[in-house]
Structure 1
Amino acid sequence: MVLDVRRILLFTEVARRGSVTATARALNYTPSAVSQQVSRLEAEAGQPLLERHARGVTLTDAGRALAERGERIERELTAAENELADFAGLRAGTLRVGTFPTVGASLLPRAVIAFREAHPDVRLTVRSARIAGLWAMLENREVEMSLMWDYDWNRIDREDIVVTPLADDPPALLVSKDHPLSDRSSAALADFADDPWITRADHHPVAEALARSCHAAGFEPQIAYEAHDYQEAQAMVAAGIGVALAPTLALEGIRAGVSVLPLQPPAPVRRILLVRMSDHVLTPAAQAFAGFLRDAASADTAS
């Protein structure tokens, strides 16, 4: 037995109004069309559901039971419509976003604050990881979209993703306040060819950016220290161990004793990106959050 839900709902309306004619009038059908649908439902049920008489209809026991079920179906459908409306209207739901540390400490918080103020009923979860971890979370659908980055020599280019560039993140030079060139308004890498360098440990991409940039400037950097994060790198710069290269977004908090010198071109600018899998259609919450990310990136670029 397979019952047509639309016929059940129509039958429930007939039961509620007690008349085929009244139901037809209310739903803008013809009485014969309503009668045909009820007859087909009775055929599906294998038994009569209505007893027809001159003044209207009377439900059989089976018809009464089915009408009660029909009312429950109506309530569930109404609840489903309201729930979907809540998701569409950003009054409910969960949004999971991936990020990486430097953006998580700079651009991302502004977008999070704006999103939570605008849509406080949506639960926002943020997961931070290196690039490999972000790819795994995207592919496993642990996050709906993720912030990522790339350089000219390793562009993110896959057929199964959608990439939205948000901002360019140029590098800067970190030097000790006691360095002879610390009062410059900008600098070139070649000016620091004889300096010891602080780089990132564990084959971090910024270490590759430093090596490539120095080679392009005609020298091999002398590595004096390998730091595991930018705060550690700043501490070593302030102590006079060497100079360092860092993306601008990694410089939200500059410690005492460190000068930041904008780097003259050519410089290894990285792109900040928003990435999602191409077979995943963004939810209304994700679309709204992406807008706040673009706003935050634009404000950061303008400043």
Structure 2
Amino acid sequence: MLKKDARLRAFHAVATLGNFTKAADALSLSQQAVSFQIKSLEDEVGNRLLKRQGKNLELTETGEILSRFAKQILDLYSAAEDALGQHTGVVGGSLNIGATGSIAKYCLPAAISEFRKTHPSVSVSVSVSNSGDIADLLAQEAVDLGVISGGPVELSRFIVEPFFDDELVFIAAADNPIVNKQPLSLSELLACQYIIREKGSGTRDLMEGYFRDRGVDLATLPIAAVMGTTESVKASVASSNGIAMVSRLSLGTENVLTILETDLGSLFRSFYIVRLRDSYLRLALDRFVKVLRTSNAFRSIDSVSIE
């Protein structure tokens, strides 16, 4: 693998994301390391590249000039890696995959393991967030690939490949009295306390649509808590009389949770593999997507359930 200029990568990340913290997260570095790289680059250039405007970072005129070339230079590194990989048969480089929590926890590890068996020289990192945030990271080139759900996320700016459909289900603690009332009617669902995801979550957006289609505004539901991850939602449901809507994919074999049957029909959401339209398609990324399409983790999704 070619050793790319770490200083240029750091500068490009900060210039694109406009934030040292986000850049450090995207590069898996400390903020101090990112600051050091940019200071070193500024010393070599002989001018400041960034300036603070209140809480925001802006490029100086010198920074604007360098920014126009930074992506081209980094893409040339990738192109060279691809050419060498094609010649030697050894694919190198690094990939940063953005994914929602359920995908990252239950599916990506198996896909990455399969990929690494044949591409051990490629390092793979995963950024986990909700679908909206992952789409933003992809647009800002902080990740190379996203695996996200649709919903309100604007997908027209990306190359989009349909991936698979996942069912969303209501869950409750196994000892919740509501379990004995199945199948649940709409009025019975409306009488429950809810644990929901944060704004921007694909699950929350679909839940809002589910109730909206049945004439109910989510704001009128009794909301007991708002959680930032599916795991925290499940833990809250398990320890309370609240219920939640979660991905069936996120449910393992926990016997403390029960899927609630309703008489309102099923709800499915689609997941997509998304890439930037104008990004350089690296060989490593192309190979990973091929593995992702055929991974055993995704072929076995339909069998995921809880008792």
Larger radius of gyration: 1
* Residue in structure 1 matched with residue 284 of structure 2 by the alignment: 285
Query: What is the percentage of aligned positions where both structures have the same residue?
Result: 21
* Residue in structure 2 matched with residue 241 of structure 1 by the alignment: 241
| Counterpart-to-counterpart distance in 1, 2:134 and 2:227 | 22
Answer whether contact 1:190 1:217 (CA < 8 A) is retained. no
Change (3 A) 1:252 1:186: farther
For 2:179, what is the secondary structure of its paired residue?
coil
- Kindly provide the CA deviation profile for residues 157-212 of structure 1, in whole angstroms up to 9, marking residues without a partner as x: 32x42101111121011112123453789766554232222212346443333233
| Counterpart-to-counterpart distance in 1, 2:81 and 2:235 | 54
* Residue in structure 2 matched with residue 117 of structure 1 by the alignment: 117
| Counterpart-to-counterpart distance in 1, 2:115 and 2:144 | 16
The reply on whether 1:146 has 2:162 as its aligned counterpart is no
| Counterpart-to-counterpart distance in 1, 2:200 and 2:81 | 51
| Counterpart-to-counterpart distance in 1, 2:164 and 2:100 | 15
C-alpha deviation, 1:143, in angstroms = 2.5
CA RMSD, 1 decimal: 3.2
Answer whether contact 1:199 1:207 (CA < 8 A) is retained. yes
C-alpha deviation, 1:87, in angstroms = 5.1
| AA aligned opposite 1:223 | I
> Mean alpha-carbon deviation: is it higher for 120-129 or for 107-116?
120-129
| AA aligned opposite 2:279 | H
- Kindly provide the CA deviation profile for residues 27-85 of structure 1, in whole angstroms up to 9, marking residues without a partner as x: xxxxxxxxxxxxxxxxxxxxxxxxxxxxxxxxxxxxxxxxxxxxxxxxxxxxx999824
Answer whether contact 2:95 2:124 (CA < 8 A) is retained. yes
| Counterpart-to-counterpart distance in 2, 1:198 and 1:120 | 41
| Counterpart-to-counterpart distance in 1, 2:293 and 2:264 | 26
For 1:170, what is the secondary structure of its paired residue?
strand
| Counterpart-to-counterpart distance in 1, 2:288 and 2:184 | 37
* Residue in structure 1 matched with residue 299 of structure 2 by the alignment: 299
* Residue in structure 2 matched with residue 23 of structure 1 by the alignment: none
Q: How does 1:221-236 map to 2 (within 5 A)?
A: 221-236=221-236
Answer whether contact 2:101 2:229 (CA < 8 A) is retained. no
Change (3 A) 1:241 1:144: same
Q: How does 1:172-211 map to 2 (within 5 A)?
A: 172-182=169-179, 191-202=188-199, 204-211=201-208
| Counterpart-to-counterpart distance in 2, 1:98 and 1:225 | 26
For 1:213, what is the secondary structure of its paired residue?
helix
Gaps of 5+ in 1: 1-79
Answer whether contact 2:182 2:262 (CA < 8 A) is retained. no
Q: TM-score, normalised by structure 1?
A: 0.61
Q: TM-score, normalised by structure 2?
A: 0.61
| Counterpart-to-counterpart distance in 2, 1:117 and 1:184 | 49
Change (3 A) 1:134 1:262: same
| AA aligned opposite 2:258 | S
For 1:240, what is the secondary structure of its paired residue?
coil
Answer whether contact 2:130 2:202 (CA < 8 A) is retained. no
C-alpha deviation, 1:258, in angstroms = 1.6
